[in-house]
Amino acid sequence: MKPRHFITLIDLTPNELRGLISRASELKRNPASRTASLKNKVLAMIFEKSSTRTRISFETAMVHFGGSAIFLSPRDTQLGRGEPIEDSARVISSMVDCVMLRTHSHDTITRFAKYSAVPVINGLCDHYHPCQLLADMQTYFEHRGNICGKTVTWIGDGNNMCHSYINASRLLDFKLRIACPRGYEPNPEIIAKGGHRISFHSSALEAAEESDLIVTDVWTSMGQETEKQNRHSAFREFKVNDAVMAQGNKDCLFMHCLPAHRGEEVTGDVIDGPRSVVWDEAENRLHAQKALLEFLLS
């Protein structure tokens, strides 16, 4: 039987996503609902890029469920010396119960998944960051309830996080207002699948009008370091500040997947202010991924 993978949010049905969000909140509220359901199970985590939250949350989740996790970096495995991804997938998946990959290229994850005998989880690639969306959606539901019919605003780069927001808008049926600098818009194929829910706006102020949740991310993602200077000039006007937040509804929240650069994509006043839920959002990575691991492995 083919294993169930989590490569994009669209690998879940709307009901499965809602089920994961609710299970994540239950695991958070009631630590006793933890079980040793993943006893003796092993998660391999392959990181081509840096991580704080993703690594710690997956590792802790496995320990809380009675299993364990192995951190693998291409630097000290044969992956970094050119062993084909297909061969690596066959070998690694013959020894562990689940594999999480954080890669430069989306293609690496899909190729790995094709040859993997166990579930594969996308821990971020150039196109998507679906695990972060599990936590973001859990955070919205915990603070404000159902997101269906609400308005979310994405300000900044049309990047992996933005693409995953487009996917979340499809599954949970919210409106997504996007403001990106010209030349940094999201992938047109992903936008097209978002359909009528997605709209584009020329300024951050306009995109934030009547919003229930305003979200941003770094201007320069991992792997784009050589573009940093150009990006800084292009993104100058795409910052979340108090004026942008004031355009939203009165109970509008602010989220950022972190790490953040205060003074660039978001001001210190906003990220450290009363509407920001970034610390809950970060903590929810743990609870949401526990629900995901349980779903894929139990």
Member of 125, 257, 277, 286 binding ligand CP (CB under 6 A): 257
205 binds, among ligand CP, ligand NVA, none (CB under 5 to 8 A by kind): none
Shortest Å, Cβ 153 to ligand NVA: 17
132 touches ligand CP (CB under 6 A): yes
CB 268 within 8 A of CB 262: yes
Q: Is 285 a catalytic residue?
A: yes
CB closer to ligand CP, 27 vs 218? 218
User: Is 132 annotated in the active site?
Assistant: yes
The single residue of 257, 275, 287, 289 carrying the catalytic annotation is: 257
Give yes or no: 197 in active site.
Answer: no
Q: Using CB under 6 A, which of the segments 3-11, 84-92, 111-119, 155-163 binds ligand NVA?
A: 155-163
161 binds ligand NVA (CB under 6 A): yes
60 in contact with ligand CP (CB under 6 A): no
- Annotated catalytic, 162? no
Of these residues, 217, 231, 247, 256, which one is catalytic?
217
258 binds ligand CP (CB under 6 A): yes
Binding residues vs ligand CP (CB under 6 A): 51-54, 124, 132, 257-258
Active-site residue set: 102, 129, 132, 217, 257, 285
